[in-house]
Amino acid sequence: LPCTAEVRDDHLFIGGVDMVELAREQGTALYVFDEADLVGRMEAYRDAFRSRYENSDVIYASKAFLNKEVVRLAEREGLCLDVSGGGELACAQSVGFPAERVFVHGNNKTPQELEEAISAGVGRIIVDSRIELARVSEIAGRLGVTQDIYMRITPGVEADTHEYIRTGCEDSKFGFTMLEDFAYKCVTDVLAAPNVRLAGLHCHIGSQIFALHSFREAAQVMVEFMARIRDGYGYLIEELDLGGGLGIAYTADHEPSSIDDFAEVTCAAVRDFCGEHDLPLPRLLVEPGRSLVANAGVTLYTVGILKTLPGIRKYVAVDGGMSDNIRTALYHAEYEPVIANKAGQPRTEIVTLCGKHCESGDAVVIDMPLQHPDLGDIVCVFGTGAYNMTMASNYNGQPRPAVVFVRDGQARVVTRRETYNDLYARDI
């Protein structure tokens, strides 16, 4: 639940704002973010790491949820920003986010995106392959600069999560593989490449991870790799970026670790393994996305159609679906819904919240408890702050929802709803 959620007279309030009234004013589907919750998590992450490990930074993985306002908040809270290409970088630049705090990711950044990033003066480019190394080196040379880079390593850690969002295992399109010692051998090329400086190493083992020992294992592999680079190449790696991936609770049966526990395990692991290998402590970075924003966001819908299939299920159709939340169709993601105008009542029915799109797989919530639904009810789906808005589409000509931030009884639109005109504005 967003931290400020409460029930008053059967209505759900978030940030002191009545979700039922907000839905009526702004229309649905609507993304709503609890700003105090969002900022609170940014602060919690920063403080959890800084208090345990002085030379650390938190990089917000903007792919989870991106608009100008969240970049401004990240800026104000002293976070760095992970962008996965030119489009996300453009958002950061549009609000004057300091380029030196931008980290550029992606397994196939185009030469144009690399040039945009290098000429913007981004802090670090996370190099994903040998081919990309040559591109970065060439472009930096042409622009007359030296670019700080990280090497992304595939540490071969199997994180226990959905296979589509597992990235650190050996069969992965991301990073330099450690198979046949490839990554280690490539350090020769990295150190020899002109106009780049190897500032650090990066790994990201996956997303929605509950088992903290996976992060410890990844830290171990990475620190051992740093030690080998020192011993074999006489080169000291100064920065270590362990990626994101901390899981969150989408439903009451999920038991995720806290930000503090994640920080404790990560910082201790880096300290322990550096101690074992007699390495000076590197600057430590993490790149949370989901665990910063998912629980701060909810989606509001209006119930439009009800259908009961005897002996099968009850369909509650809402005015959105896979266009604003592809995660259910794609990963069988689970969410908990509540009827915002009946929030104080018990959830007595098992329903499927389906969308309005022309596909049977179009559902937001499958077989979950809900209050007795009636036409016109406002449904609030929790935990939709990460990877919903950024993965939204215009399928079936659906305009993408507005984004509203709520705080202290005030609501402000930070991204307006898409219009029909927007939909076809690019057509010739």
Question: Which region, judged by CB under 6 A, interacts with ligand LLP, from 13-21, 192-200, 284-292, 295-303?
Answer: 284-292
357 interacts with ligand LLP by CB under 6 A: no
Beta pairing, strands 313-318 & 337-339? unpaired
- 221-250 residues in contact with ligand LLP (CB under 6 A) are 243-246
Is position 168 annotated in a ligand binding site? no
Nearer to ligand LLP, 60 or 225 (CB): 60
175 interacts with ligand LLP by CB under 6 A: no
Cβ-Cβ contacts under 8 Å for 347 (sequence gap 6 or more): 338, 369, 370, 371
Dist. CA 396–CA 204, nearest whole Å: 34
Binding mask 99-128 for ligand LLP (x = CB under 6 A): ------x-----------------------
Is position 327 annotated in a ligand binding site? yes
Distance separating the N- and C-terminal Cα atoms of the chain = 44
85 interacts with ligand LLP by CB under 6 A: no
327 interacts with ligand LLP by CB under 6 A: yes
Local structure of residue 352 (DSSP, 8 states): E
Dist. CA 33–CA 328, nearest whole Å: 20
Of 28, 67, 207, 323, which one interacts with ligand LLP (CB under 6 A)? 207
Question: Which region, judged by CB under 6 A, interacts with ligand LLP, from 35-43, 287-295, 397-405, 418-426?
Answer: 287-295
Is position 228 annotated in a ligand binding site? no
Peptide bond into 29 cis (omega under 30): yes
289 interacts with ligand LLP by CB under 6 A: yes
Cβ-Cβ contacts under 8 Å for 307 (sequence gap 6 or more): 314, 315, 317
Dist. CA 227–CA 156, nearest whole Å: 17
- Cβ of 144: how many Cβ atoms within 10 Å? 7
15 interacts with ligand LLP by CB under 6 A: no
Question: Which region, judged by CB under 6 A, interacts with ligand LLP, from 71-79, 204-212, 308-316, 397-405?
Answer: 204-212
Q: Is 80 a catalytic residue?
A: no
Dist. CA 16–CA 3, nearest whole Å: 11
Catalytic residue among 3, 186, 358, 380: 358
| Secondary structure (3-state) at 75 | helix
Dist. CA 395–CA 321, nearest whole Å: 10
Of 17, 32, 61, 133, which one interacts with ligand LLP (CB under 6 A)? 61
DSSP bridge pairs for 285: 57, 241
Please state the closest distance from residue 258 (CB atom) to ligand LLP, in A. Answer: 14
Closest CA to 48 of 257, 216, 259, 295: 259
Question: Which region, judged by CB under 6 A, interacts with ligand LLP, from 15-23, 61-69, 253-261, 311-319?
Answer: 61-69
Is position 245 annotated in a ligand binding site? yes
Site residues, ligand LLP (CB under 6 A): 61, 63-64, 82, 105, 165, 204, 207-208, 243-246, 287-291, 327, 331, 387
Binding residues: 245, 287-290, 327, 331, 359, 387
